[in-house]
Amino acid sequence: MTFDVALPMLEGRLARTLPGYFGLLRYLVELDTPLPDGFDPLGELPWFARNRSIRSLVISPAPDAPTLETPPDVIGECVRDGRLLHVFVSVGPTARALRLAGEAAASESRCPFLCMADLEPRPATAGARLTRIIREARG
């Protein structure tokens, strides 16, 4: 079974790198506008992620190349080169959790899967902060 879920275009900034599986870096994305309370496009979020406003996401690469042939910072490389990259999107940790637990708050077990998406660079303007758009999600 395959299906597409149309989601709004999300804008935010790559806030920091996080360690990931097989040496591939993940990124914490701080959203410009939080997702609404109860946002759950696939209806599969656990209770602790369902009833709160989502202000950050964690993105992990879903590259076309085999994992062991993928550069460790494939997300950063695609952003710098202006290339589209397919990513796994998870609910990010709260600001409080990050303060109290640091990187552990963004571990895979604490950040439930939300959807798949295409990460696309926003056209740069002089002096603009590093921003990205999560454009299209697929379930």
Instruction: Write down the pLDDT at residue 86.
Output: 92
Task: Cite the beta strand spans of the chain per DSSP E.
Answer: 10-18, 26-35, 54-61, 85-91, 113-121, 132-138
pLDDT in tens, 79-114: 889 899 999 999 999 888 888 888 888 888 888 988
pLDDT, position 110: 86
> What is d(CA 113, CA 123) in angstroms, rounded to the nearest whole number?
28
Supply the pLDDT for residue 5: 58
* Higher-confidence position of 104 and 7: 104
pLDDT, position 123: 64
Residue 6 falls inside a structural domain: no
The answer to the question of residue 53 being in a domain is: yes
Question: Do the domain assignments include residue 37?
Answer: yes
Range 13-20 average pLDDT: 90
Segment 17-28 shows an average pLDDT of: 91
pLDDT at residue 132, rounded to an integer: 42
Q: Which domain holds residue 125?
A: 11-138
Is 5 part of a structural domain of the chain? no
Q: What is the pTM of this model?
A: 0.79
Number of independent structural domains in the chain: 1
For residue 48, the model assigns a pLDDT of 75
Residues written for the chain: 139
Is the separation of the CB atoms in 59 and 26 below 8 Å?
A: yes
